[in-house]
A and B are shown apart, each in its own frame.
Chain A
Amino acid sequence: MAACAALVALVGLAATPAPEVPAAKSTPPASSKLSVTLPGELSFAFKPGPGSTAAMTYCLTCHSSAYVSTQPPLDRAHWDAEVTKMRKAFGAPIPDKDAADIVDYLTANYGKQS
């Protein structure tokens, strides 16, 4: 009931009867500790091919290959912009040569040829 009253007071439902809100209990958890195991990469992996080693070396430091494979097919300019963003905005330490290889790899394997 207290929860219900708080909700009504907050949202000011002047013209509406008090809604029945599920009675959320506020019992603290039995244990305050929570541990989970995250699943890692699941079955996501970069496609094999020239440049895949550079992609695996640098991209996988921070994120799964699914960050690439779920994108729409991007053209070279867009993949280049993404790699540049990773280097400039997110500080990925990718040398110029590897960055160029990664752009080629992404365009060839996850890109739109245009």
Chain B
Amino acid sequence: MQTSRRSFLVGSGALAASGALVAPASAEQIVRGVFANGDRPLVAFPQKRPLMVLTPRPPQLETPFAIFDQGVFTPNDAFFVRWHLADIPTSIDAAKHRIRVGGAVGKPLVLSLADLRRMPAVEIAAVNQCSGNSRGFFEPRPAGGQWQNGAMGNALWKGVRLREILDRAGLDAAAKQVQFNGLERPTLPATPDFKKSLDVDVARGDDVLVAYEMNGKPLPLLNGFPVRLVVPGWYSTYWVKMLSEIMVLDHVDDQFWMKTAYRIPDTPNHSVAPTDTGFATIPINRMVVRSFVTNITDGGALKSGRTAVRGIAFDGGSGIKSVDISTDGGATWAPAALETDYGRYSFRRWNAAVILDGGKTYALACRAAGNDGGTQTTTAIWNAGGYMRNVIQQYKVTVT
């Protein structure tokens, strides 16, 4: 098991040559949509295998879901991609890259990758999931990136604790938030540059990394080469790519990407009715618990008898306590077996077996619970951003 996954990672890394060619349009395969306007061409972007293209510029690429059945870690060349602004550097010399640390600090810093590699290294398995993963399944459907369920991935991230960097700079007593900026730039000067901020206590957490490796390799350019922020348990909007600036603020960040974008209703399950107005909002933050079957697709056909069901589960960092499966749409449940624990931020693989009778249809379902008591919702939440979906997934199958 170990050996085969390891060799898989090595094999996929070997494809990650710089300047890889893009498949010509004539070679496009299409993944057919599961919602309106959901067809996606499969195209190999640089350092990537063919992925589902939501948008080519700026690139938004989705991982085909079958990949998640192949191992607990998502290969770098299959990892989803999401940029906000179109001016993305396509040529980077990591040796010349610098991270500037300034603002409300005692001593501003300019750090190179070599500086980071001289600091204590930490490696953490963590899920990186887009805030809007599964947005295409919201009903009514909000505007935004129309993802199925593949805007997520699990990787082993290696880097330096952000806290080490902040401590070297020395935070002023007035420090409130830490703001992160990367090399991605807008095409128009009037467009707000993409910056995200974390409260100081979150930024100084044990597990927040400035990461220069992903699954033992340099990050692909489209995943933030040469260095990105890793905020385990939090949605990937905070995982700023091509990290170039760490600015300590003496106030709560009030720029567009914090004050206006990526806000969620401050309501139970962060859900509202489409007609609701006047509710308070907060910045999106920690992920909610989810689980998926990875070896069976909704609408699939199965043979009668004993059938293996397997999948993944993850949450916002408390770790998975349990996964249950159902063959009757959630009326009754039985526990699944949890597989190897790679840490509380990682995908947790699970498996179960069910007996299915021929000539019937079944609604398979899976549900996970976190160690913090978090559970999945039985009916889908709704908010205008299309964020934080974690409804119990159902898989209707026909058995012959």
**Which A residues have a C-beta under 8 Å from some C-beta of B?**
2-3, 6-7, 10-11, 13, 16, 19-26, 28-29, 32-44, 61-64, 66-67, 69-74, 78, 81-82, 89-93
Expressed in whole angstroms, the Cα–Cα distance for A83 and B107 within the complex equals 44
Q: Which of B18, B96, B218 contacts A35 (CB under 8 A)?
A: B18
Does B303 reach chain A (CB closer than 8 Å)?
A: no
Minimum C-beta distance from B261 to chain A (A): 8
Contact A42:B53 (CB < 8 A) given known A37-B46, A71-B146? yes
* B37 and A33 contact, CB distance less than 8 A: no
Name A's interface SS. loop
Minimum C-beta distance from B251 to chain A (A): 21
Expressed in whole angstroms, the Cα–Cα distance for A71 and B35 within the complex equals 10
Contact A33:B92 (CB < 8 A) given known A66-B53, A74-B143? yes
29 A/B residue pairs, CB under 8 Å, sorted by A: A2-B121, A6-B122, A7-B342, A10-B124, A11-B344, A19-B343, A22-B156, A24-B156, A24-B216, A26-B117, A26-B213, A26-B216, A32-B226, A34-B93, A34-B225, A35-B19, A35-B91, A37-B19, A38-B90, A39-B43, A42-B25, A42-B28, A43-B41, A63-B58, A64-B56, A66-B54, A71-B143, A72-B35, A72-B141
Known: A36-B221, A64-B57. 18 other contacts (CB 8 A): A13-B341, A21-B125, A22-B5, A23-B216, A28-B117, A33-B92, A33-B94, A34-B94, A36-B222, A37-B22, A37-B90, A38-B45, A41-B56, A43-B41, A63-B86, A70-B37, A91-B192, A92-B190
Contact A33:B91 (CB < 8 A) given known A24-B216, A38-B46, A39-B43? yes
Minimum C-beta distance from B1 to chain A (A): 9
Q: Which of A7, A13, A19, A67 contacts B123 (CB under 8 A)?
A: A7
Minimum C-beta distance from A86 to chain B (A): 9
* B56 and A44 contact, CB distance less than 8 A: yes
The number of chain B residues with a CB under 8 A from chain A is 76
Minimum C-beta distance from A96 to chain B (A): 17
Contact A43:B25 (CB < 8 A) given known A19-B341, A22-B2? yes
